Amino acid sequence: MEEVLRAENISKSFPGVLAVDNVSLSLGHGEILALVGENGAGKSTLTQILGGAQRPDSGRIILEGKTVSFNSPADAIRAGISMVFQELSLVGSLSVAENIFANRQPVGRLNNVQWKALYQEAQDFLSRFDLDLDPRILVKRLSMGQQQILEILKAISTHPKVLILDEPTSSLTENEIAYLFQNIRKLQEQGMSFIYITHKLSEIFQIASRVIVMRDGKYIASRNVSEVSENDLVSMMVGRQITNLYGAAVEKPLGAERLRVESLSRKGVFQDINFQLRAGEILGFAGLVGAGRTEVARAIFGIDRKDSGKIYLNGNEIQISKPEDAIKRRIAYLTEDRKGWGLFLGMTVRENLIAPSLKRFASRMDFLNQKLVNEYAEKQIEIYSIQTASILKKVLHLSGGNQQKCLVAMWMGIQPEVVIFDEPTRGVDVGARAEIYKTLREFANAGVGIILISSDLPELIGMCDRILVMHQGRIKGEVQRKDFSEELILSYAAGLEETQHA
Ligand SMILES: Nc1ncnc2c1ncn2[C@@H]1O[C@H](COP(=O)(O)OP(=O)(O)OP(=O)(O)O)[C@@H](O)[C@H]1O
Ligand SMILES: [Mg+2]
């Protein structure tokens, strides 16, 4: 295969960590190369160097036989390398069309944007990818999945020779993933080359021809996909075997009612949501993106208003009109959107860890007790194996998976009675996922009521006692553990079956 891109002896360090340690790789014309490794292995840093978003300390990049050097992603795009970053970078307050063509809008004589032309061009572009999306709509109105697809299309619109995708499917549904893969294959046939980073190892076998494993910043191995198993990859990634990812469900009688939601509705978003959550129970919420699962969680937690309905905690009706009300009642919500409602990215790991539980650390004068705070932060880092050079590192500079672990650790600090986990293992490697599942079980066993919203069916089936399936804003089915099957859940999620729902 003709080579399109080569990286030679790339190294990059940040304070306290050698993120990429003398890595070389080669990418063929029309090749789909997967890149895997644990959280913090250096995948994003390496590819950001190739995509012009980071400068290497040393090493060379060779594109179609010529040595290149980039000062910015714009440089790389001009040369033919486009990258879709792990964290979304669209501008929510702008339209779909403006986001696709940011800085490349058709302008008229007076340098004014030609809106009609812009929308038309965007419409044409979207329909080329069979995407039924209004180019005028504001990006913040789109689901996370739609935003992610849009982000990818935006990168494709620059006609790159090499497209780097950093965990592109982390918030896509099965259908959206199938859609993405179809388009990747189409573009591959036209000669586009891909570097594809993922933690969902099964995807590698569907889309990639070769896979490179990184560990601790180092290149570990390159294998043809046809010659490795998922287990081989896992042991190369973590250097140990992981068995029984979801842990064992302990047979336990469920406790008293923790949370009850009655006739919760929000016009046009979700209708007549009724359910009960008991102490020690892990209750799953399945459904396609857009089914309204996150919206229900946000309403319970007080981020969005509700039009009607009642919420009971431990048998007493409670009023929640803002997140502070929920936190005071020890209801925690771990958002699917780390960047938005989750972490304070610009602040340190320590500040984030204590954020929702500040009160515990205030001494009489309301000053934070520094010694306690530091001890607490160090302890949380250890418990949740958050990989960071120190508690003073900015969360922004943690790897994506370690940011997620930080979010879990931060909310556990309020000693919650009810926890809503919204896609908690998105972008989290297998080792760390096992840790998060363990935490979830520990909390359930201690009597916390847990709601688990997830698009990962094996995860729901592996973890939950009971699963509610939403479709178009309504609960369409309820499945008990003994009846769990992907087929049944998917058929409810697609709106195909109805059950009597109590
Ligand atoms: N801008 C930065 N400043 C300081 N440290 C950084 C920065 N970017 C990355 N790091 C560190 O470099 C290491 C590699 O991080 P990187 O994001 O490349 O990992 P990753 O393999 O992409 O992990 P994940 O699967 O969690 O996304 C980590 O220890 C991370 O904390
Ligand atoms: Mg990363």
- Summarize pLDDT for 293-336 with one digit per residue, the tens: 999 999 999 999 999 999 999 999 999 999 889 988 999 998 87
State the distance from the centre of ligand 1 to the C-alpha of 374, rounded, in angstroms: 23
State the distance from the centre of ligand 1 to the C-alpha of 86, rounded, in angstroms: 11
What pTM, to 2 d.p., does this model score? 0.71
How does the average pLDDT of the chain come out, rounded?
88
Who has greater pLDDT, 425 or 95?
95
Task: Quote the CA–CA distance of 70 and 162 in Å, as a whole number.
Answer: 15
- Residue with the smallest CA separation from ligand 1 atom 29 is 40
Atom of ligand 1 nearest to the CA of 403: 26
> Does the structure show a pLDDT above 90 at 429?
no
Q: Which long-range contacts (CB under 8 A, 24 or more apart) does 495-501 make?
A: 495/471, 501/274, 501/475, 501/476, 501/477
- The total of other beta-carbon atoms located within 10 Å of residue 302's CB is 21
Does ligand 1 lie within 6 Å of residue 37's CB atom?
A: yes
Task: Quote the CA–CA distance of 232 and 308 in Å, as a whole number.
Answer: 52
Window from 156-160, 164-168, 439-443 with minimum mean pLDDT = 439-443
Q: pLDDT-derived band of residue 362, with 50, 70 and 90 as boundaries?
A: low
Does ligand 1 lie within 6 Å of residue 398's CB atom?
A: yes
**Percent of the chain topping pLDDT 90:** 57
Do the domains 256-330+416-502 and 3-93+138-238 match in fold?
Answer: yes
491 three-class SS: helix
Domain 256-330+416-502 has CATH 1.10.8.50: no
Q: pLDDT-derived band of residue 111, with 50, 70 and 90 as boundaries?
A: low
- Given this model, what pLDDT does residue 105 score? 59
Instruction: Give the CATH number of domain 3-93+138-238.
Output: 3.40.50.300
> Does the structure show a pLDDT above 60 at 461?
yes
Atom of ligand 1 nearest to the CA of 401: 26
State the distance from the centre of ligand 1 to the C-alpha of 474, rounded, in angstroms: 39
State the distance from the centre of ligand 2 to the C-alpha of 489, rounded, in angstroms: 31
Atom of ligand 1 nearest to the CA of 48: 18
Q: Count Cβ atoms within 10 A of the Cβ of residue 149 and give its class: 0-12 exposed, 13-18 middle, 19 or more buried.
A: buried
Q: What is the edge-to-edge ordering of all strands in the sheet holding 308-313?
A: 270-278, 257-266, 308-313, 316-318
State the distance from the centre of ligand 1 to the C-alpha of 117, rounded, in angstroms: 40
Identify which of 60, 71, 30 has the alpha carbon closest to the alpha carbon of residue 195: 30
Write out the two tokens for 225. 């996909």
304 three-class SS: coil
Identify which of 130, 127, 142, 129 has the alpha carbon closest to the alpha carbon of residue 91: 142
Does ligand 1 lie within 6 Å of residue 45's CB atom?
A: yes
Residue 92: half-sphere exposure toward Cβ, Cα within 13 Å: 8
Please state the rounded mean pLDDT for residues 270-298: 94
CA 27 to the chain's CA centroid:
26
Window from 146-155, 234-243, 350-359, 477-486 with minimum mean pLDDT = 234-243
How confident is the model over 131-165, as pLDDT tens digits? Answer: 888 999 999 888 888 888 999 999 998 899 999 99
Write out the two tokens for 381. 């880092």
Does ligand 1 lie within 6 Å of residue 11's CB atom?
A: no
> Does the structure show a pLDDT above 50 at 501?
no
Write down the domain spans for the chain: 3-93+138-238, 256-330+416-502, 343-415
Ligand closest to CA 390: 1
> Does the structure show a pLDDT above 50 at 502?
no
Please state the rounded mean pLDDT for residues 195-200: 93
Please state the rounded mean pLDDT for residues 106-115: 63
How confident is the model over 386-404, as pLDDT tens digits? Answer: 889 999 999 989 887 788 8
Window from 54-58, 167-171, 334-338, 457-461 with minimum mean pLDDT = 334-338
